[in-house]
Amino acid sequence: MTGARTGYVRAMEHFTIETVAEKSPDFRRVLWTGGQTQLVIMTIPPGGEIGEEVHEGIDQILTFVSGTGEARVAGEKKEVVSGDLVVVPAGTKHNFVNTGPNPLVLYTVYGPPDHADGAVHRTKEEAEAAEAAGQDEPPTA
């Protein structure tokens, strides 16, 4: 249930985020959706990627938990490893690619929310199909 969007306000949500992220084999799992932001964990398999995209009107902050990858943001490329954080301002073309032999695990905060509350997509293909079918729309106030 979404706190700010339904009028039901929870006092606190607590996650040991590295543990939660490491235990999720899903490509994308929405952990929490509020009125202004959304917390999502992602696991990108070896050789995989998020896919080049632009979020109009949505800022994104990604924090990497494990694995190695490459951040491709606004034409720049940087290696990312555990503990790194990358900010993607709204309207900026970006992609994140797993360059290592292990899953690239991260959590990201969208502001405002970008995905359906509680969405779970086991694979990138499942996520893309849900988006194409209009089944991954963020909640509206």
Spatial separation of the C-alpha atoms in residues 52 and 123, rounded to whole Å = 16
Question: 26, 106 in Cβ contact below 8 A?
Answer: no
- Give pTM, 2 decimals: 0.88
Spatial separation of the C-alpha atoms in residues 29 and 41, rounded to whole Å = 5
Tracing tokens 């086991």 back to the chain, one arrives at 122
- So what's the pLDDT on residue 22? 81
pLDDT above 90 (res 43): yes
The average confidence (pLDDT) of the chain is 91
- So what's the pLDDT on residue 24? 87
Pairing status of strand 85-88 against strand 59-66: antiparallel
Looking at the DSSP bridge assignments, the partners of residue 32 are 39
pLDDT above 70 (res 8): no
Burial string for 41-79 (b: 16+ CB within 10 Å, else e) reads bbbbeeebbbeeeebeebbbebbbbbbbbbbbbeeeeee
- So what's the pLDDT on residue 141? 55
Measured CA to CA in angstroms, residue 13 lies from 1, 3, 67 at distances of: 12, 10, 26
Looking at the DSSP bridge assignments, the partners of residue 124 are none
When pLDDT is cut at 50, 70 and 90, the band that residue 6 belongs to is very low
pLDDT in tens, 89-113: 999 999 999 999 999 999 999 999 9
Domains of the chain: 17-133 (2.60.120.10)
pLDDT above 50 (res 81): yes
Measured CA to CA in angstroms, residue 32 lies from 27, 62, 77, 112 at distances of: 16, 15, 29, 12
Measured CA to CA in angstroms, residue 72 lies from 5, 17, 36 at distances of: 33, 24, 26
pLDDT above 90 covers a percentage of the chain that reads 81
- So what's the pLDDT on residue 1? 37
